[in-house]
Amino acid sequence: MEQPEARQEEVVAMQEDTKPTESTAASEQAAPVELEMATVVAEEDAEAAAALDASGEDGLDVVCAGVPTFVEQKRWEKFLRQKGVDFISTRKITAQRFAKISFATKAAMDDAIAKLDGATVRGSTIRAKVAKRAGGEIELEDKPVEKRQKTAGKAEEPPKDINDIVTPMWRLDYSDQVRKKRNVVLKKLKAVQKEIRKKSAYDLPRWIAQAKTTSQCCSFKLFIQAEESQRDGYRNKNTFTIGRDVAGRPCIGFALGRTEDHQTSVADPSECRNLPKEAKAARNLLQQFIESSPHPPYEKLGHTGFWREAVVRTTRAGEVMLAIQVNGDAVSADELQAVKTSLIEHAKASTNPPISSLYLQSYSGVSNRAPDDQETELLWGQPYIYETLFDLKYTSLYFLFLSYVAIADLRPHPPTHHVLLRFRISPSSFFQVNTSGAEALYKVVGDWVAATKDSVLFDICCGTGTIGLSLASRAKEFPVSNPENDQVVGVDIVPSAIEDAEANAKLNGITNAHFFAGKAEDVLPDLLERYREFPSVAVLDPPRAGAHADVLKAVRKCERLQRLVYVSCNQKVLPVDLAHLCRSESKTMMGTPFRPVQAIAVDMFPHTEHCELVVLLERINSPTFDAAITTPAPIVATSDPVVDASASSSSSSSSSSSSSSTSA
């Protein structure tokens, strides 16, 4: 799935994540300390307090401190009604530890204070006080002077560099970036063996019992580096936040962090190395438009403002899609229509870059991400842009050579010959953010899964079908008279992704692939049963959270599935997932265990801490699971990890590899 790249949209999500956890609930029980913190927040956040200032006469407002951050507006209103509080309006902003309540009469306000002061909500004690106003700011009556002075004397931190957030390794030489990532992968492969030992404490698989406890679970000989020309400007999808910079000016970019007044500051992304020039030009185009707009950027703290975010998608052929999200509730219907008209004129007039598709989405929710079924309106241009894979005009021969080296010392599986494929891309479509890197990744996956005309290929967590469709010509072909039986079977939880997969199959004239929408843990068992008579191979490309345990159980239980290629975008969950697949058989995890055979990393996200890791697994009773593979080869530390791969290649391929290396 779209991945691990330190995705810019995930930077925002990580900064503003307010989901309750056990540690959160526990910390909120430390009432004295937290109440002081809540008081300071209420004192310092002048803009937030002003935003909270709704109805009610002066002197008839109450501020409640100590409300847990994860208590939402509806839950807060329900709590007040349960307490019998007679209020006109109330405002509780998620991620803040205070709420404001307005009353019609002083008697109602006094009654509410008596009921709320000292009450508990979700384990946290509330302090309710009359909100006094000082220069337009709502403040608590008993503001501690020492706290105010301590905050006032605090030195301002120097501004952060957005590159350190979006591309934290950008200051390092590329060889040092690869070395750091390689070491992380090695640690995780060692952790896999430890996890398998832990889950198989009373019945260790033989290969685990014979291995050293400090060794990695399988051979790791190659880290496919990004070609020099592909290390910058590789992201084909970029999600920009529309907010204000540290000076308070409208800005389209990436979240820099929270300011002292608890607003999210946005930084100009023009110097970010992973953005292509087309994305930067599209961002600049919209920046000019918003600077002259009468409507302000959206502010999550007070749920005010209009402009929310912009998604820019680009292709190697130069197509540009611009999708803008706004808070439609902040303007009238006529004003919204005027914005649409102006945007269309602005997009039509643009030559740098020329806009191929212009979309607008109106979304008034508090969370950053709109629901999957939220309507997105095409304002102008074509509904889709199109990207190609394995097009020799763009495909990196360097990447393809390295992926060929990856299988040089494995079984005599012939390399996969990929045909040119074309994929349609909509605003919400999933597509790997590094197109050239995806080609190298799919080349490795295709060679390792080794689908044949006699086998069925399962593409689990298939997204828009890119992996399965790229391998459709390799697996079993069924008679046209039985259309229910397909060569490639894809499963994904997102219905729109399945629609895109079906459309991409039709676009490329692939008639022997079919895709199913639903949770893999629910759909996969029936599909595996349907094709139980045929040899099966599978690709599992789970989301960042890892594969569901029921998915892994279904894969383990299907004995006809002899080979599995696991694609990991988040190596933190890799040990747990592989331990389920490789641990000894038990009542909860039935079926012959798998064994990791080989691992290859693909650096699809230069200048970040992430990479894609591909792991080949085979059943321990597989006929191809020979002794030459069962003992992991030692890792030789070198300055260039590619040397490891060529040095470990079999003698029969060494000469060809050497000549190919020279030409590459």
**Structure-token pair, residue 203:** 């019945």
Three-class SS of residue 155?
coil
Q: What is the CATH number of domain 237-382?
A: 2.40.50.1070
Report d(CA 512, CA 485) in Å as an integer: 8
541 is in an annotated binding site: yes
**Candidate list 461, 569, 582, 611, residue with the active-site label:** 569
pLDDT at 36 over 60: no
Sequence spans of domains, the chain: 57-130, 237-382, 394-406+416-587
Q: What is the largest CA-CA distance in the chain?
A: 92
More confident residue, 634 or 145: 145
Q: What is the rounded average pLDDT of the residues 8-18?
A: 40
Among 151-160, 224-233, 275-284, 524-533, name the most confident range: 275-284
* Per-residue pLDDT at 149: 46
| 57-130 maps to CATH 3.40.50.300 | no
pLDDT at 436 over 80: yes
Q: What is the 3-state secondary structure (H, E, C) of 571-637?
A: CCCHHHHHHHHHCCCCCCCCCCCEEEEEEEEECCCCCCCCCEEEEEEEECCCCCCCHHHHCCCCCCC
Mean pLDDT for the chain overall = 76
* Per-residue pLDDT at 177: 94
What residues contact 366, with CB distance under 8 A and at least 6 apart?
94, 300, 303
* Per-residue pLDDT at 2: 45
Q: What is the DSSP string of 427-442?
A: TT----S-HHHHHHHH
Question: Could you read off the pLDDT of 541-559 as tens digits, one per residue?
Answer: 988 888 888 889 888 888 8
Confidence category of residue 532, pLDDT binned at 50, 70, 90: confident
DSSP label at residue 328: G
432 is in an annotated binding site: yes
* Per-residue pLDDT at 222: 79
Closest CA to 436 of 474, 472, 387, 505: 387
- CB atoms closer than 10 angstroms to residue 161: 14
CB 488, CB 513: distance < 8 Å? yes
φ, ψ dihedrals at 281, nearest 5° = -65, -40
Is 582 a residue of the active site? no
Confidence category of residue 174, pLDDT binned at 50, 70, 90: very high
**Tokens 């405002």, located at residue:** 91
627 burial (CB, 10 Å; 0-12 / 13-18 / 19+) is exposed
Question: Could you read off the pLDDT of 469-498 as tens digits, one per residue?
Answer: 988 876 555 443 344 445 889 999 888 889
Q: Of the given ranges (234-243, 255-264, 590-599), which has the lowest mean pLDDT? A: 255-264
Which CATH architecture does the domain made up of 394-406+416-587 adopt?
3-Layer(aba) Sandwich (3.40)
More confident residue, 71 or 459: 459
* Per-residue pLDDT at 521: 80
* Per-residue pLDDT at 417: 54
Question: Could you read off the pLDDT of 190-229 as tens digits, one per residue?
Answer: 898 888 888 887 778 888 777 777 677 788 877 888 888 8
Report d(CA 200, CA 198) in Å as an integer: 6
Three-class SS of residue 296?
coil
More confident residue, 201 or 38: 201
pTM for the model: 0.69
168: cis peptide before it, omega within 30°?
Answer: no
pLDDT at 318 over 80: yes
Report d(CA 650, CA 414) in Å as an integer: 15
